[in-house]
Amino acid sequence: MSLRGAPEETPERKAFYDRIDAVAMAPLWSVLAEIVTPEPKSACVPHLWRFAEAKALLLEAGGLITAKEAERRVLILENPGLRGESKITTSLYAGLQLVLPGEVAPAHRHSQTALRFVLDGAGAHTAVEGERTVMEVGDFVITPPWAWHDHGNHSAQPMIWLDGLDIPLVSFFDASFAEGYGADEQPVTRQTDDSLARYGSNLLPVDFESRGPASPIFNYPYARSRAALEQMKRQEDWDPCHGLKLRYINPVDGGFAMPTMATFLQLLPKGFKTAGYRSTDATVFAVVEGRGRSTLGGRAFGWGPKDIFVAPSWARIIHEAEEEAVIFSYSDRAAQQKLGLWREDRGNA
Ligand SMILES: [Fe+2]
């Protein structure tokens, strides 16, 4: 049952509201039904960005400003319902970052947690806390909160990836800190991919103690994740809502890889249509392989490789794969579950 709407505004009440307004007070009964809603009510709308168009604009930006001058040469994917707020959902940010051959995106750190999902190119690197990883299409790379990070491209081709950050969440808490390293690149102090070997091989160093809320692995290579899906699909054990869907984990505790954001990789076999599904975590999807269409809150969008689309909180999602498809996604589910807010509705599935 809904809460009651705002009571009638009589002249006496209006005069009273004006008086209390002058002392920075307001009547709850005028706004209660608006701020405590029976179900999620969001300004965020479903939307899709075509990669081909985005790439052309990014390359144009590459001629306008260097990665160094920009600090990060990124075009923000702004939700059409949230223009001017640098948000793809109410709580999350998304951007497409371009690093051209020979460029460096200088070292810095911030309270915000970041993920990269590689869309185009190969061979650029990200360095996190003294360790480099070389990025390939489909790799999922994390930057934990307050970790030094820089990006460089020693390959011969432009490199484009999706940046996902919890910027709006951190802004909501007024908890943003950031600083520059003072040099383009931090010194490399660890062997490339040391963390993947050390923490990503179903083993942990015997006396390992967790030093922070994020996974100690910072590159989850696509080759490994894709191989897992390939093996699992032989079982033909499809979830009606998700096909085959895995979540990226922190191997230390089995939780999500990052403290605020959850990330997933799913496979939909050719011809599969998911049952309607909705959850309170508005979700950003990046197509890796295949073509299909998704209905998001009643609106249909066709997609292909590298396209990006967003579904608002509690909007019903139906995916249909015309070809076998692999889709990466991220949301604020990690934060919502810690706060006891997350809900899902699997329909009749
Ligand atoms: Fe950053």
- DSSP code at position 60: H
Give the closest residue to 250 by CA, choosing from 168, 193, 195, 329. Answer: 195
Q: How many angstroms separate the alpha carbon of residue 109 from the centre of ligand 1?
A: 6
Q: Give the rounded percent of residues in the chain with a pLDDT score beyond 90.
A: 96
Question: Tens digit of pLDDT for each residue in 278-336?
Answer: 999 999 999 999 999 999 999 999 999 999 999 999 999 999 999 999 999 999 999 99
Query: Per 3-state DSSP, what percentage of the chain is helix, strand, and coil (rounded to 5)?
Result: 20, 30, 50
> What is the CA(75)–ligand 1 centre distance, in A?
14
pLDDT digits (tens, 9 = 90+) for 14-30: 999 999 999 999 999 99
Distance (angstroms) between ligand 1 centre and the Cα of 150 equals 8
Please tell me the predicted confidence (pLDDT) of residue 2.
64
Distance 16 CA to ligand 1 centre (A): 49
Label residue 130 left, alpha or beta by phi (over 0 means left) and psi (-120 to 50 means alpha): left
Q: How confident is the model at residue 200 (pLDDT cuts 50, 70, 90)?
A: very high
pLDDT in tens, 234-278: 999 999 999 999 999 999 999 999 999 999 999 999 999 999 999
Span from the CA of 148 to the centroid of ligand 1 (angstroms): 8
* Residue 3: pLDDT band with limits 50, 70, 90: confident
pLDDT at 349 > cutoff 80: no
Predicted confidence band of residue 4 (pLDDT cuts 50, 70, 90): confident
CA of 165 from ligand 1 middle (Å) equals: 9
For residue 144, the model assigns a pLDDT of 97
Number of alpha carbons in the 13 Å side-chain half-sphere of residue 347: 15
For the chain, percent of residues with pLDDT exceeding 70? 99
Distance 309 CA to ligand 1 centre (A): 23
From the CA of 111, how far away is ligand 1's center (Å)? 9
Q: Is 20 helix (H, G, I), strand (E, B) or coil?
A: helix
User: Separation of 106 CA from ligand 1 center, angstroms?
Assistant: 9
For 333-349, what is the mean pLDDT?
A: 95
Average pLDDT over residues 69-93: 97
CA of 149 to the centre of ligand 1 (A): 7
Residue 43 alpha carbon to ligand 1 centre in Å? 27
Average model confidence (pLDDT) across the chain: 96
**Contact (CB, 8 A) for 313 and 89:** yes
Q: How far is the CA of 192 from the centre of ligand 1 (A)?
A: 20
For ligand 1, the distance from its centroid to the CA atom of residue 68, given in whole angstroms, is: 13
Residue 103 pLDDT greater than 90, yes or no = yes
Cβ atoms of 116 and 163 within 8 Å: the answer is yes
DSSP 262-323: EEEEEEE-TT-BPPPBEESS-EEEEEEE--EEEEETTEEEEE-TT-EEEE-TT--EEEEESS
Token representation of residue 278? 């909705």
To which H or E segment does residue 134 belong?
strand 131-134
CA pair distance 215, 138, nearest whole angstrom: 18
Ligand 1 center from residue 107 Cα (angstroms): 8
Q: Is the pTM of this model over 0.85?
A: yes
| 1 band by pLDDT with thresholds 50, 70 and 90 | low
Q: Ligand 1: distance of its center to the CA of 102 in Å? A: 19
Between the alpha carbon of residue 227 and those of residues 110, 230, 231, 233, 234, the distances in Å are 33, 5, 6, 10, 12
